Chain A
Amino acid sequence: MNTQASQRRLLPGFGLTMGYTVFYLSLIVLVPLSALLLNSTGLTWAKFWDVATDPRVVASYRVSLTTAAAAAVANTGFGLLIAWVLVRYEFPGKRIFDAMIDLPFALPTAVAGVALTAIYSQHGWIGSLLEPLGIKIAFTTVGITIALMFIGIPFVVRTVQPVLQDLEADVEEAAATLGAGRWRTFRSVLLPYLIPPLLTGFALAFSRGIGEYGSVIFISGNMPMRTEIAPLLIMSKLEQYDYAGAVAVAIMLLLISFVLLLVINSLQKWMRRTSR
């Protein structure tokens, strides 16, 4: 870092690469995004307020936020378990399972959506087992939560895994030598290091879950007030040519994303500090 600071103009290409970066970023991301905020649709404050407080819209935010939160909580637990097992233990097939964690990143969301619906609908592998017990998963918020768990699990595993790898077993040994039990070692020695990555993974999974569309719309059944998610509402408003309404819902969604982005950024800074 310090050599960079002292010799920063030694390397060529700053003007070209910086200029292109800013130009391309503006063209693809910033200018189109500003279209949302600069309001070309005749959206007034009154209309914005009407849409934002419409019971159906409020219900869709509630569905999106609660299912994304529930999935992120579940993923924080499962993600820690999976990361721990992958880092600390040897078992047959470990490499394949490790590679598989990234499948939700690589699999198109629509494929995940139809596959999960097929599993949990009343004739599906799991759906047909639960049907006689009176438990429904497809077309309920539970189904949405499971879809978001599928989408979110790699975020937690891939954030926690490197931190666990870097944690030297020596620290634990020292604690154990000093007479700490297993659980106490975990709680007072490991957990302080694991909290920042766990929170970061949680926030990443939560943020992704709120905006997720493809994997959810098949399994959710899209019933207004009950299983309709906010991104879908944007889509249906667009289909009815209600551009101002779509923009109003999108601005709310964007605000939530920005707040989460700030939270994630400060969490990541905290992670870098604690890992040093």
Chain B
Amino acid sequence: MAGSVPMIGQTSPRNEKLTVPKRRWVKNVLIVAAVLVLIWLIVLPLAVVLTESLKKGWDVYIAALRDPDALSALKLTLLVAAITVPLNTIFGIAAAWAITKFKFRGRQLLITLIDLPFSISPVVAGLIYVLVFGSHGWLGPWLKEHDIHIIFALPGIVLATLFVTFPFVARELIPLMEDQGSQEEEAAVTLGARGWQVFWRVTLPNIKWGLLYGIVLCNARAMGEFGAVSVVSGHIRGETNTLPLHVEILYNEYQFSASFAVASLLLLLAVITLVLKSWFTRKSVH
């Protein structure tokens, strides 16, 4: 255990030795209270997804996952993530490079604007695309004339997902690259390296764990987004239904076991995300 304690654990054994003699019961009461809160708030919802999904047995569980509508929802969810995550990753790298390697006016404003989607309700995020591309929106009549479908179709879902996952990679990279400074890159340039060489050989190896961390979080949100996608999707079964929307539809039809079976897939995604995340965090610390 000792070799693998996370970063938080590294300072505390020392602290405990050095600090004033503590009354044991205070420590124990606090630990028990914190663990109880965590079990109540976080473990319980996890456990209920698993038990509810298997309530009617494995057959119902498997059937719910093999249902054609569930499979097409899974495919759509994967497709949307496969489009949005690379786009926001490229943006995140470009934004972090511009913001951390150069000084310019309005730098702080740019960071605030990049963070903006985090403070906007997902429903509002969906709404703005309806206002631009919907049948009553700015481009509605023109799109109709040319028979282009954006709202209630894949492009709308992609756009809404791009919006809500917009800041993830950038906000992971900006503090990281700020801390690392530019000396190594500057040395490389002085030695005659060209722009892309500097990026691939110097910057990327330095930021790779932080970058992967951002990508994983971005992906989790992209696959799990509900509110924004709900506004623009139209809930057409087998066509514009993503996995989270499928959970809702089944739930509203009182097919609880099936709904929780699909939910358990998304729970698996969350658990994988957390495992990868703590792995990347440890890698970036050592």
Task: Report whether chain A binds chain B.
Answer: yes
Contact, CB under 8 Å: B20 / A238: no
Q: Which of A13, A110, A261 has the most CB of B within 10 A?
A: A110
Q: Mark A118-149, 1 if CB is under 8 A from B, else 0.
A: 11000011100000000000000000000001
Say yes or no for A260: interface residue by CB 8 A criterion.
yes
Chain A residue nearest in CB terms to B127: A250
A104 touches B27 (CB 8 A): no
Contact (Cβ within 8 A) A18 B102: yes
Given A182-B26, A213-B227, A214-B226, decide whether A114 and B260 contact each other with a Cβ distance below 8 A: yes
Count A/B pairs, Cβ under 8 Å: 325
**Does residue B204 face the partner (Cβ distance < 8 Å to A)?**
no
Query: Are the CB atoms of A103 and B121 closer together than 8 Å?
Result: no
Shortest Cβ gap from A40 to chain B (Å): 5
- Of the candidates B35, B163, B217, the one whose C-beta lies within 8 Å of that of A105 is B217
Task: Please name all residues of chain A whose beta carbon is closer than 8 Å to the beta carbon of B220 when the two chains form the complex.
Answer: 105-106
Inter-chain CA distance A109–B230, complex, in Å, is 12
A7 within 8 A of B: yes
A126, closest chain B residue (CB)? B44
Does A47 sit within 8 A of B, measured CB to CB?
Answer: no
Interface SS majority for chain A: helix
Smallest distance from the beta carbon of A184 to chain B beta carbons, Å? 12
Q: Which residues of A contact B38 (CB under 8 A)?
A: 82, 97, 100-101
Would you call A46 an interface residue if the criterion is a C-beta within 8 Å of the partner chain's C-beta atoms?
Answer: no
Are B189's CB and A265's CB within 8 A? no
Determine the distance from Cα of A18 to Cα of B94 in the docked complex, in whole angstroms. 7
Q: Are the CB atoms of B198 and A110 closer together than 8 Å?
A: no
Is A8's CB under 8 angstroms from B12's CB? no
Q: Does A45 contact B (CB under 8 A)?
A: no
Determine whether the beta carbon of B162 is less than 8 Å from that of A35. Answer: no
- A21 to B128 CA separation, bound complex (whole angstroms): 21
Q: Is the CB of B266 within 8 A of A107?
A: yes
Encoded as 1 (CB less than 8 Å from any A CB) or 0, chain B from 103 to 144 comes to 110000010111111011111100111111010111000000
Interface residue A24 (Cβ < 8 Å from any Cβ of B): yes
Question: B137 contacts A109, CB within 8 Å?
Answer: no
Q: How far is the CA of A99 from the CA of B8 in the complex (A)?
A: 11
Collect the chain B residues with CB atoms within 8 Å of residue A211's CB. 119-124
Residues of A within 8 A of B31 (CB): 85, 89, 91
Instruction: Determine if B117 and A90 form an interchain contact, defined as CB atoms under 8 angstroms apart.
Output: no
List of A residues within 8 angstroms of B44 by Cβ: 119, 125-126
Task: List chain B positions with a Cβ less than 8 A from chain A.
Answer: 4-6, 8-9, 11-16, 18-20, 22-23, 26-27, 30-31, 33-35, 37-38, 41-46, 48-49, 52, 91, 94-95, 97-99, 101-104, 110, 112-117, 119-124, 127-132, 134, 136-138, 159, 162-163, 166, 181-183, 185-186, 189-190, 194-195, 198-199, 217, 220, 223-227, 230-231, 243-245, 247-248, 251, 256, 259-260, 263, 266-267, 269-271, 273-275, 277-278
Q: Which A residues are closer than 8 A to B by beta carbons?
A: 1, 3-5, 7-14, 16-18, 20-22, 24-25, 28-33, 35-36, 40-41, 78, 81-82, 84-91, 93-95, 97-112, 114-116, 118-119, 124-126, 149-150, 153, 161, 165, 169-170, 172-173, 176, 182, 207, 210-214, 218, 230-232, 234-235, 238, 241, 243, 246-247, 250, 253-254, 257-258, 260-261, 264-265
